[in-house]
Amino acid sequence: MTGIPFPDISPELVSVSLFGMQFALRWYALAYIVGILIGWRLSVAALRRPHLWAGGVAPMTPAQLEALLTWIILGIIAGGRIGYVLFYQPGHFLRNPWEIPMIWQGGMSFHGGFIGVMLAILLFSRSERLPLGGVADTIALASPPAILLGRIANFINAELWGRPTTLPWGVIFPGEAAQDCPGIVGACARHPSQLYEAGLEGLLLGGLLILLAFRWGALRQPWVLAGTFIAGYGIARFLVEFVRQPDAQFVSPGNPLGLALQWNGWGLTMGQVLTLPMILVGLWLVERARRSRAVPA
């Protein structure tokens, strides 16, 4: 099997040693920091254009958005970690509960983080008495940049790779696990599924949301952007899962939930099962918004 050799990129951008301890800035952390900043600026740009919103009034101020970002970061961390514990390795963490807060060792779930963000938006909107639909649309517009850069960081980390492939753009990822391809002699090339997700969930979906917000007047109909983001992410993730290597934790005997969700003969992965509700909810939100009359600026 032929393929493209994995580029020699260190997961650590810079590493320093202080007082006998090693500190490193990783591409993964930098990706989310920069992604959140870009998304924040996009949302601020929309909030400063009242004519884009229903009734010519933005749902919140830039200052309130900054306060909401703190809630969202907490929701991402708490939800992502709890989701990983419940969906990926419940047996391991049941035996070692003290490891649950050790997020620096890795282990986060997008779907858990998504639920955490939704709860943060709901609680913040209620506490500040803000329109929930407008707040959700604001955060939906800000999300794709972080997803785009985060998936590129997954590629740099040589993790979450795809299934073996003979396509010319297959990548030969390093490591024993990546090269464990039954029936394949020599180097094993795999789909760069991280880059597929970066293009679909980040670049394509983000471009669509920007056009909807700044050119096509979608912000005048609350929930259109949020519904489009939820359904769009779900569809993109569902499609990429066909060429993405299933997470080993989901198909191991130690995860009965993962085994139970491998539907009878359908061959659905856990990622596909978890995105089905997202697709349905997102499409329902868009259809519900379309049936309500747009409020002119």
Question: Cβ(190)–Cβ(165) under 8 Å?
Answer: yes
Give 57's contacts (C-beta < 8 A, 6+ positions apart): 50
Q: What is the DSSP-derived secondary structure letter of residue 251?
A: G
Question: Cβ(56)–Cβ(47) under 8 Å?
Answer: no
Long-range contacts of 263-272 (CB under 8 A, 24+ apart): 269/241, 269/244, 270/87, 270/246, 271/237, 271/238, 271/241, 271/244, 271/246, 271/247, 272/237, 272/238, 272/241
Measured CA distances, 49 to 52, 90, 104, 111, 140 (Å): 6, 46, 39, 31, 17
- 27-47 vs 132-156: helix crossing angle, rounded to 10: 150
Does residue 151 have a known ligand-binding role?
A: yes
CA nearest to 128, candidates 65, 75, 77 = 65
Beta strands 21-26 and 12-18 are antiparallel
Residues annotated within the binding site are: 151
